[in-house]
Copies of this chain bind each other. A is one copy, B any other.
Amino acid sequence: MANMNENFLKLQDNYLFSTISKKVNEFKQNNPSKKIIKMGIGDVILPIPKSIIEAMHNAVDEMGDISTFKGYPPEYGYQFLKEKIVENDYKSRNVSIDETEIFISDGAKSDTGNILDIFGNNNVVAIPNPVYPVYMDTNIIAGNKIVYIPMNRENNFIPELLEEKVDLIYLCFPNNPTGTTITKTQLQKWVDYAINNKSIIIYDAAYEAFITEKNIVHTIYEIEGASKVAIEIKSFSKTAGFTGLRCGYTVIPKEVIGYTKNNEKICINKLWARRQSTKFNGVSYITQKAAEAVYSEEGKQQINKNIKFYLENAQIIRSELEKYGYETYGGINAPYIWVKTPNGLSSWEFFDYLLNEKCIVGTPRKWLWNRRGRIF
């Protein structure tokens, strides 16, 4: 008799964004003539910049010619792309990352979900509250013990060290969903904590390209000691409008160490390499050529223009909301605006109000006050 993973039954019936999508489709069917402003799923709207389009056309042609056709991609990504990442995302910030420490993937969400494959089942996992749902849901599926790191108005969205000892720590800055950031000094505390407690930080830097202020790191490896304890996950989705193309990467420095139950050291880079070569087969050549073009001079200019557009939008949303008396956060180093719902409305009630009355799709998020993984 085939036994199923019963942890799935502890999840809410639907993944947050699937529920939003369902509600929006229902609204569309009932109101076919109304124009909706969609900000629900955190998707991009600007087309892929021209230099990247050209790179893809060239790559498509290569795939159609026997002399340039490419079969299975290298399982951890093409050298040409990894070199560009090392140079532009790390070396330029005085961070030393080797190409063998970079793993190209079909997106940050896949990596964020799959990373738990390499961890044992005795870890206490700390996730920010409010949370990007993937952190929580994947840990529920894995049956891990979850504790929450409060990030709210009371602590100015700055995650503080927990009293309870934790082994795995998810941090995301600029933050999804609040749009807030923390300083170097504040992040240093977490890195020091991880070093002292032999914990691992999973650092989600998907929104790094939106940082406009100083004293905010673009990569966690700018923090002293982070290359001993941090895995960094990055995405081209928001940086370069790749949500429909699917590409991201994960960085695991070779000195990041995990442990067996008998306290023996394990190189986490090696474990992830084995995971990826066993359960993943690399990213389309065409997509990797697109990602490479992100780092060309032309590509950089076009992307920066798009990012500026999204940040301007965020400013408009924020200042208009404030005009109407809403309490707002974020939008300065991130595309996201975090809004306090008015008049004690729940986040789904406010979502419904925005959709039904204003034809605007937001993302309902709430404060999770139960520490055992269930959202109320």
Interface residues in chain A, defined as those with a beta carbon under 8 Å from any beta carbon in chain B: 1-6, 8-9, 11, 14-15, 17-18, 41, 43-48, 50, 53, 56-57, 60-61, 63-66, 69-73, 75, 106-107, 109-110, 112-114, 117-123, 133-134, 137-138, 141, 167-168, 197-200, 243-246, 258-261, 263, 266, 268, 271, 274-275, 277-287
Contact = CB atoms under 8 A, between A and B. Distances in A.
Contacts of A280: 109-110, 113
A114 B10 CA distance: 19
Contact of A259 (B1, B56, B117): B1
Contacts of A167: 1-3
Nearest to A75: B18
Contacts of A259: 1-4
A244 B73 CA distance: 6
Given A6-B120, A107-B281, A117-B141, 13 more contacts: A1-B167, A1-B197, A2-B167, A3-B258, A4-B119, A4-B258, A5-B120, A18-B75, A41-B71, A48-B64, A113-B279, A114-B279, A245-B286
A244 B63 contact: yes
22 contacts: A1-B198, A3-B258, A8-B266, A15-B277, A18-B75, A43-B72, A47-B65, A48-B69, A53-B61, A57-B57, A57-B60, A69-B244, A106-B106, A106-B246, A106-B281, A109-B281, A110-B280, A133-B278, A243-B281, A245-B284, A245-B285, A286-B287
A53 B64 contact: yes
Give the number of times this chain occurs in the complex, counting copies: 2
Contacts of A268: 4
Given A66-B47, A245-B286, A283-B246, A6 B261 contact: yes
B260 A3 contact: yes
Contacts of A17: 277
Given A246-B283, A246-B284, A117 B5 contact: yes
A271 B5 contact: yes
A5 B110 CA distance: 19
A119 B63 contact: no
Shortest 6 CB-CB distances between A and B: which pairs?
A113-B279, A3-B120, A53-B64, A43-B71, A4-B258, A47-B69
Given A243-B71, A268-B4, A137 B63 contact: no
